[in-house]
Amino acid sequence: MVVTLPIVSTASESDYPRILDYPWDHSPITVYIDDKNVPPHYSPAYSAQVHKALDYWEAGGNGKLKYIPVFKLVDSENADIRIRWVESLQEDQGAPEGVAGAAIPYIADERFVRVDIILGVGSYQWMRWVPYSDSAMLAISKHELGHALGLDHSTDRQDIMYPSNEQINNTHPLFAGKYGSFLLIAAYAALATIVFLSVSWLLNRRKRKKIQD
């Protein structure tokens, strides 16, 4: 699920969309980060972004949880939250284009039994594979952990739980900076110009050939 930064929401706490108000019946919540079985484009820095995302929620997150979570990292797949990376959510989970992460909760008696978090490592842009930046991975991790803590999607574009994010959609380094949107528009304009000139050249060539014939 694709996400956004910064993380300030205008929705009141009582109206905020949640999967469950209190999804876990114990504390700490154990977390297993599988940084061993990783896809080809995985970066070791991604694991650090997950750690930052855990710290973010322990510090209060977006302010919409009804409790403050405490996490405990464990080296066991029997953890409450299990996090792993895949090359593509589309290939691994059959997710729609643009989806960068998924949180799959298993629920019994109005509580989470466990949550599997699956994070993609990049997407195809301009006909080539582009890995997610560290900042994008941090945003994805925060968002999916928000689901693992019981939050649903927000309608506030400034909230970390909003379901789409320009930061992740434009992950190519050239388009991720201050002038990323301008450069993207300029690139499309340049491409359109090239196509127009190519078509014009072909038409003129055919016209000249007919005259010569």
Asked if 41 and 129 count as a contact pair (C-beta separation under 8 A), the reply is yes
The CA distance from 109 to 94, in Å, is: 28
Burial 134-165 (b: 16+ CB within 10 A, else e): eebbbbbbbbbbbbbbbbebbebeebbbbbeb
pTM: 0.73
Q: Which of 66, 52, 133, 61 is nearest to 100 (CA)?
A: 133
Q: What stretch of H or E contains 136?
A: helix 134-148
pLDDT tens by residue, the chain, 213 residues: 434 333 333 444 568 999 999 999 999 999 999 999 999 999 999 999 999 999 999 999 999 999 999 999 999 999 999 999 999 888 877 888 778 999 999 999 999 999 999 999 988 777 788 899 999 999 999 999 999 999 999 999 899 999 875 445 444 444 344 434 443 444 444 444 554 555 555 566 666 655 665
